[in-house]
Amino acid sequence: MDLTDKQWEIVKREIPKHKVRKDHKGRPWQNDRAVLNGILWILRTGAPWKDLPERYPSRATCHRRFQEWSRDGTFKKIWRQLIHLLDDQGRLDWSEAFIDGSFASAKKGGLALVLPRGEKAQNGWPSLMVVDFLSQSRFIRPRPTKRSLQKPPSSPSPSRKGQKNLLATKPTQASH
C-alpha cells in the first residue's frame, strides 16, 4: 500500500532539495516518492532490506536515503505528518498502539550472563549498564566468579593486651 496522492502532497514539503554536484557527475536522483514508498514498505512489513520488491528503487538507495533522512530529522517530520493525517481521517486506533514491538528470545534455563563459547561481548557503556543493572536487581544475582567461591584465608585473631592467647596455651590437667 503506497502513499496516496493526498498523503504525498502533504509529506513532499518535508523532503529537502537534492544536492547536485558542481561537476554534474554521478547518478541521477531516484524519485523521492518511490524511495519513501520503499522505506515505508520495509517498515510496515518488517522484512529485511534485501527483500524489497523490484517495483521500488534499489535497496541500497532506499536504505541510504532512510539513513540520511533519519540523521537530519526529515523522516521524523514525514512520520509526524503522516500520523496527523491518518489520525484526522480516523484511521488510527490509539487503544491498540505499541510503544515497542521488539522482543528478546530466552534460552531454556533462564537468564545467563555468560556468553556462549566463541561469542564476543558488546563493547561500550550500554552493555556495562545492563550488567550493572542486573547485578543490583533484587531478583537476579550475577553468577559467582572463581575468586568469590574460594574461602578467604583464615588468620588467627590478634590477642588483646593483658589477656592470654587461648590458642597458644595448652590445657592443663588439674591434679588432686
The answer to whether residue 59 is domain-embedded is: yes
The answer to whether residue 145 is domain-embedded is: no
Q: Which domain holds residue 17?
A: 5-96
- Taking the alpha carbons of 113, 119, 120, 122 in that order, is the dihedral positive or negative? negative
Q: Give the model's pLDDT for residue 51.
A: 95
108: left (phi over 0), alpha (psi -120 to 50) or beta: beta
The answer to whether residue 75 is domain-embedded is: yes
Q: What is the average per-residue pLDDT within 81-97? A: 84
Q: Give the model's pLDDT for residue 1.
A: 79
Exposure of 31 in the CB half-sphere (CA atoms within 13 A): 8
Winning range, highest mean pLDDT, from 13-17, 105-109, 160-164: 13-17
CA distances from 30 to 18, 20, 50, 99 (A): 10, 13, 18, 32
Q: Give the model's pLDDT for residue 55.
A: 95
Q: Give the model's pLDDT for residue 131.
A: 47
The answer to whether residue 44 is domain-embedded is: yes
CB contact at 8 A, 134 and 140: yes
Average model confidence (pLDDT) across the chain: 74
CB < 8 Å & 24+ apart, contacts of 82-91: 82/7, 82/10, 82/11, 85/6, 85/7, 85/10
Q: What is the average per-residue pLDDT within 165-172? A: 51
Number of structural domains, the chain?
1
The answer to whether residue 48 is domain-embedded is: yes
The answer to whether residue 66 is domain-embedded is: yes
Q: Tell me: the pLDDT tens digits for 26-76? A: 788 899 999 999 999 999 999 999 999 999 999 999 999 999 999 999 999
The answer to whether residue 32 is domain-embedded is: yes
Indicate whether 115 pLDDT > 70: no
Q: For a pLDDT cut of 70, what percent of the chain falls above it? A: 55
> Which of residues 151 and 130 earns the better pLDDT score?
151
pLDDT band at 104 (very low <50, low <70, confident <90, very high): low
Residue 44 cell numbers, joined:
510496515
The answer to whether residue 169 is domain-embedded is: no
Count of residues in the chain: 176
